[in-house]
């Protein structure tokens, strides 16, 4: 035999394996990009079929693992890694909206940042990105981030289930889901959060379907189950479904502005804060009023009567806790909202509170005094009007 045949054949085999390795790496990169889209745009059947499993990783924030599943999951991580990064399903219906695009991008960008700990992503990813040892996947994600950061319209509001806990009461047991409302592209110092159970979501779904039957026809909702309601798989799947459910609702303007949708988020907080204020628990009430304020701010309803009531609650609690500067600021914000209104049940009480607080903190009170004088000439004596605290306590919240 030819003595050169051995080395030549070996070189050919090495080249052949190298080509296959490069092709495999490219396939994995495509699957990684596809994985982001698949995670954000699941097929509607995934929400309707309770027999199918769901990945325990949700948006990078929530993870459930039961003890009896740990060994099985470890095996799947080793053997089924390629399946998790498979071809993504095509988005359909409301899931293909532009708002969902911002959410998918946020996760992709997070993957790129996690893969490049050596520099700021806005600094062209640093010189280390061009090192010979850098992976092709990382470079492609960097390029994707640079091209997309100016072209993708950010989603205005994201709904993220950050935790879920099983609650056992005297005669019932249920799962309580904590959902954060996050404004895409902005940093919120304090989160706006709600805690809701399945029955709360089901009530919202039922009320909206009665009023918006056509719009709700294409929106999936996870159905009830007779068993396995407290397994990690069911809780994780429902968490994912509730995120998508709220995102779909928020994408429809008529539903987004409806009382049913809005009250689902902040009515419970308002009722709790009112009850705490009436019982003199001002510190606890202040935290609840503040969360209701943030929820209404995220939802874009900062000119409603409920928002004015929230400002009244904040002002009263701050004043009772001797935080006069903060109380004065709440009154000023409320009076700015009431600027164009000649009459409002809360206008007189806010003006009186503002004048009193402005005198306490040494601020200008002349404009409020002039508006009070106008009210005095146009209506009944202000002495007969309730104070801000009395308005807050008497306001029915149903």
Its pTM stands at 0.63
- The b/e string for 319-335 (b: 16+ C-beta within 10 A; e otherwise) is bbeebbebbbbbbbbbb
- Measuring CA to CA, how many Å separate 65 from each of 21, 50, 74, 164, 338? 34, 18, 11, 12, 51
Q: For domain 155-257, give the fold.
A: PX Domain (3.30.1520)
Residue-level pLDDT at 45: 33
Residues 6+ apart with CB under 8 A from 226: none
Q: How far apart are CA 385 and CA 209, in angstroms?
A: 42
pLDDT score of 380: 63
Amino acid 187: pLDDT: 79
Q: What is the pLDDT confidence band of residue 276, given thresholds at 50, 70 and 90?
A: very high
Higher pLDDT among residues 314 and 119, named by residue: 314
How far apart, in Å, are the Cα atoms of 78 and each of 55, 81, 83? 15, 6, 11
Give residue 18's pLDDT: 66
DSSP state of 194: E
* Residue pair 180/160 in contact by the 8 Å Cβ criterion: yes
Q: Where is pLDDT greater, at 300 or 39?
A: 300
Element (H, E) at 163: strand 158-168
From the number of C-beta atoms within 10 Å of its C-beta (0-12, 13-18, 19+), residue 166 rates as exposed
Tens-digit pLDDT profile for residues 120-134: 333 333 444 444 444
Asked whether this chain's domains 155-257 and 259-397 adopt the same fold, the reply is no
Structure confidence by residue, pLDDT tens digits, 85-98: 233 333 333 333 33
Q: In the CATH scheme, what architecture does the domain 259-397 have?
A: Alpha Horseshoe (1.25)
- pLDDT for 343: 78
* pLDDT computed for residue 146 by the predictor: 58
Q: Domain segments of the chain: what residues?
A: 155-257, 259-397
Q: What is the pLDDT of residues 13-72, one digit of tens each?
A: 776 666 666 655 554 444 444 443 333 333 333 344 443 333 333 343 343 433 333 333
């Amino acid at each position: 035999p030819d003595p050169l045949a051995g080395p030549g054949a070996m070189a050919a085999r090495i080249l052949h394996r190298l080509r296959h390795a490069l092709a495999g790496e490219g396939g994995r990169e495509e699957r990684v990009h596809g994985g982001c889209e698949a995670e954000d745009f699941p097929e509607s059947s995934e929400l309707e079929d309770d027999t199918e499993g769901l990945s325990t990783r949700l948006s990078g924030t929530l993870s459930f693992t039961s003890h009896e599943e740990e060994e099985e999951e470890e095996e799947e991580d080793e053997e089924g890694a390629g399946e998790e990064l498979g071809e993504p399903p095509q988005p359909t219906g409301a899931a293909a909206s532009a708002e969902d695009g911002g959410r998918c991008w946020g996760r992709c960008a997070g993957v790129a940042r996690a893969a490049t700990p050596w520099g700021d992503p806005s600094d062209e990813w640093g010189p280390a990105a061009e090192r010979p040892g850098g992976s092709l996947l990382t470079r492609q994600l960097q390029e994707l981030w640079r091209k997309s950061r100016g072209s993708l319209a950010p989603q205005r509001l994201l709904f993220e289930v950050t935790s879920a806990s099983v609650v056992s009461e005297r005669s019932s047991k249920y799962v309580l889901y904590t959902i954060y409302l996050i404004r895409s592209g902005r940093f919120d110092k304090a989160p706006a959060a709600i805690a809701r159970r399945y029955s709360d979501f089901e009530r919202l779904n039922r009320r909206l379907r009665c009023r918006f039957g056509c719009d709700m026809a294409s929106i999936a909702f996870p159905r009830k189950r007779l068993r396995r309601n407290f397994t990690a798989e069911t809780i994780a799947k429902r968490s994912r479904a509730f995120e998508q459910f709220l995102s779909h609702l928020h994408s429809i303007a008529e539903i987004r502005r409806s009382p049913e949708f809005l009250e689902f988020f902040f009515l419970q907080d308002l009722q709790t804060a009112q009850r705490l204020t009436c019982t003199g628990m001002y510190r606890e009430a202040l935290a609840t009023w503040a969360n209701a304020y943030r929820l209404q701010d995220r939802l874009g309803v900062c000119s409603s009567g409920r928002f004015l009531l929230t400002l009244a609650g904040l002002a009263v609690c701050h004043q009772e806790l001797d935080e006069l500067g903060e109380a004065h600021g709440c009154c000023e914000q409320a009076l700015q909202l009431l600027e164009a209104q000649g009459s409002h049940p809360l206008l007189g009480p806010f003006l009186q509170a503002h004048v009193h607080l402005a005198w306490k903190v040494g601020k200008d009170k002349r404009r409020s005094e002039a508006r009070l004088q106008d009210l005095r000439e146009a209506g009944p004596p202000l002495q007969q009007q309730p104070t801000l605290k009395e308005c807050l306590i008497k306001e029915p919240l149903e």
